Chains A and B, each alone.
Chain A
Amino acid sequence: MSIINLNIKNPVLSLKDLSVSYDGEKLAIKKINAEIKKNSITAIMGPSGCGKSTLLRALNRMHDLYPDIVTTGSVFLNGIDVVEMSNIDLRRKVGMVFQRPNPFPTMSIYDNVIAGYKLNGMKQKKSERDEIVEKSLRDVTLWNEVKDSLQKKGTFLSGGQQQRLCIARALAFQPSVILLDEPTSALDPIATAKVEELLLNLKKKYTIVLVTHNMAQAARVSNQSMFMYLGELVEYGKTKEMFTNPTDKKTEEYLTGKFG
């Protein structure tokens, strides 16, 4: 693997020999070592099936939900091994946004944003809740569009609005990291542009890890890029340098569209 000159100080996340296997034999990701920089966007790229989602889901321990999946190695969040944190603690600090917008269909827009608190049985005053909802919706530039229909079901929104609602839901906890798995692949170009703009804004407050199929997207928004191939982290570097001057042959082939 080639790491170009990244030199990350006080990384938010560091991955040490992180491997995941779905069946206990074949590794879907193999001994990944990397550090994720604070207040920046790190893109994970690579052809389909190379392990992007698998890597992302290891970061907030989503794999723990499925007992057959074996994870080895470690992930440190601000220096603390995530296996030493409780799930609720970890997931409050590391939010996740999925490929397909998945607001809770039985909940209103308001309840969707506050869902994290509700689900965990955390009670707060109505004024506090209102504040969290407004702030999170403003963060995703959805507030003006929905402020008069907060009690409507979230599923009435357009796909792009739903995805921004899901981002707001992840932001409500004020996490330090947001993981996004191809968040725009189900959206049209205009909605995609909105989400990208939003991400650029959010990185001021949050650390963002973004899985994307779309090289142009990675080039547009990310500061660092990872290129994965067959479960391995082939190259990791500053996006600009990686796109202009890739060091690995596979990366170059991928970036020039020879496969993928």
Chain B
Amino acid sequence: MMTSEKITKRLLFAASLIIVFVTAGIIFSLVGGAIPVFSEFGISFIFSSDWNPSEGKEEYGALPFIAGTIITSVLALVICLPLAFSTSLFIGEYFHDKKVAKIIGTLVDLLAGVPSIVYGLWGFYVLRPFIVDLGLSSQGFGIFTSGLILAIMIIPYATSITAEIIALTPNDLKEAAYSLGATRFEVVLYVIIPSARSGIVASFILAFGRALGETMAITMLIGNTNKIPNGLFDTGNTMASVIANQFGEADGLKLSALIAIGLLLFVITGIINGAGKLIIKKLSK
């Protein structure tokens, strides 16, 4: 006789097994799909910047997309850092528990939930023409525009985690500093930032991880050229955007190359997210 508790346990176990199988299945098919291109070009697939799909002279290298991904994401992080950091200090410390902070906090969460395609559309119809008007580039497509939209997308994310971590600074530590005559600014500098440091770092790592895999908005804005960009205002492609852009018409070796890029992206974001989560876990102990 099975008790209802036993049945529940087995059902839950079965459900979690499904997740394990799906993950294993994804990795398995990514690796399987990537084998042809790696057996053709070996490890130099990662370091080559040739991309030539014409039959007979096929040549594939992932470097332009790895470069595009890293450059846009780093640019996004650089733009995001000061903005997200000051906003989270505002919400998490200076105006913590105040109405303004609650309103801004809600707005930030709202922004974090906006679908990527909406940012893409806005970027395409508002941000891109603006870049053109500024005379920064003739079409407005490219690395800079993409980095900017990425920054706008990850700011809410980084802000809400950082604000939470800043608000967690124990009040008795802040009071200890105030009792020694410290000003608000000195408390932020010498007490809050040091004790929230690893959490803040983790939240920016997680935001960076998001930027790496972001697809739709970038595909619409980066210009989709398969070469290493030679400047901030040049066009390019990221790992995610080249896949989104080309998978429909790909087969054979090209499809394998795209899958291999997907696998690389999977591994890189996995490592970045793992690192961020590890720091947060250590912190909450």
B175 touching A119 by the CB < 8 A rule?
no
> Which partner residue on chain B sits nearest A99 by CB separation?
B172
With beta carbons under 8 angstroms apart, the residue of B176, B182, B187 that contacts A102 is B176
Separation of A88 and B185 alpha carbons in the complex (Å)? 13
* Closest partner residue, chain A, to B170 (CB atom): A102
Chain B residues near A115: list those with CB within 8 A.
Answer: 177, 180, 190
Going nearest first, the 6 A-B pairs with the smallest beta carbon separation are A88-B181, A91-B181, A106-B194, A116-B180, A96-B179, A119-B182
Question: Shortest distance in angstroms between A65's beta carbon and chain B's nearest beta carbon?
Answer: 6
- Which of B177, B180, B186, B190 has the largest count of A CB atoms less than 10 A from its CB? B180
Q: How far is the CB of A3 from chain B (nearest CB, A)?
A: 29
CB atoms of A65 and B178 under 8 A apart: yes
Say whether B181 contacts A118, CB under 8 Å. no
The 0/1 profile, CB within 8 Å of B marked 1, for residues 76-118 of chain A is 0000000000011111100110101010111100000001101
Minimum CB–CB distance from B171 to chain A (whole Å) comes to 10
Contact A104 B186 (CB under 8 A): no
Interface residue? A120 (CB, 8 A): yes
A98-B179, A106-B194 given; name 19 further pairs at CB < 8 Å.
A60-B179, A87-B181, A88-B181, A89-B181, A91-B178, A91-B181, A95-B180, A98-B175, A102-B170, A104-B191, A104-B195, A106-B195, A115-B180, A119-B177, A119-B187, A120-B181, A169-B180, A173-B180, A173-B181
Of A62, A92, A105, the residue contacting B175 (CB under 8 A) is: A62
Contacts of B176 in A (CB 8 A): 98, 102, 104, 166, 169
Q: Are B173 and A104 in contact (CB under 8 A)?
A: yes
Cα separation A169 to B175 with both chains bound (whole Å) = 13
Q: Give CA–CA (A30, B190) in the complex, Å.
A: 36
Complex Cα distance, B197 from A74, in Å, reads: 40
Residues on B lying within 8 angstroms of A by beta carbon are 170, 172-173, 175-183, 186-187, 190-191, 194-195, 197
Q: List 26 A-B contacts (CB under 8 A).
A: A60-B179, A62-B179, A65-B175, A87-B181, A91-B178, A91-B181, A98-B175, A98-B176, A102-B172, A102-B176, A104-B177, A105-B173, A106-B194, A106-B195, A106-B197, A115-B180, A116-B180, A118-B190, A119-B187, A119-B190, A120-B180, A120-B182, A166-B176, A169-B176, A170-B180, A173-B180
Measured CB to CB, the closest approach of chain B to A123, in angstroms, equals 14
Question: Which one of B187, B190, B194 has the highest number of Cβ atoms from chain A below 10 Å of its Cβ?
Answer: B190
Kindly state whether residue A121 has any CB partner on chain B within 8 Å. Answer: yes
A125 CB, min distance to chain B CBs, angstroms:
20
In the assembled complex, the CB of B194 is this many whole angstroms from the nearest CB of chain A, namely 4
Give, as a whole number of angstroms, the nearest-CB distance from B54 to chain A: 59
CA distance A115 to B174 in the complex (A): 12
**CB–CB A105/B195 < 8 A:** yes
Q: How far is the CB of A61 from chain B (nearest CB, A)?
A: 10
Closest Cβ of chain B to A185, distance in Å, is 14
Chain B residues with CB under 8 Å of A102's CB are: 170, 172-173, 175-176
Residue of B nearest to A89 (CB): B181
Q: Which residues of A contact B170 (CB under 8 A)?
A: 102
User: Of residues A60, A91, A96, A119, which shows the largest number of chain B Cβ atoms within 10 Å of its Cβ?
Assistant: A119
Minimal Cβ-Cβ distance residue in A for B189:
A119
Inter-subunit contact B173/A116 (CB<8 Å): no
In the complex, what residues of B have CB within 8 A of residue A107's CB? 194
- Chain A residues with CB under 8 Å of B178's CB are 62, 65, 87, 91
Indicate whether A98 sits within 8 Å of B186 (C-beta atoms), given known contacts A91-B180, A116-B180: no
B271 to chain A, nearest CB (A): 27
Q: How far is the CA of A170 from the CA of B178 in the complex (A)?
A: 12
**In the complex, which residue of chain B has the Cβ closest to the Cβ of A122?**
B181
When chains A and B are docked, how far (Å) is the Cα of A37 from the Cα of B276? Answer: 55
Task: Tell me the minimal C-beta distance from A49 to chain B in angstroms.
Answer: 19
Contact indicator A119/B179 (Cβ below 8 Å): no
What's the least CB distance linking A82 to chain B, in Å?
13
Task: Enumerate chain A residues within 8 angstroms of B191, measured Cβ to Cβ.
Answer: 104
Q: B183 to chain A: which residues have CB within 8 Å? A: 87-88
- Is the beta-carbon distance between B190 and A95 smaller than 8 angstroms? no
Contact A92-B181, Cβ < 8 Å, known A105-B195, A118-B190, A121-B186: yes
Inter-chain CA distance A119–B179, complex, in Å, is: 11
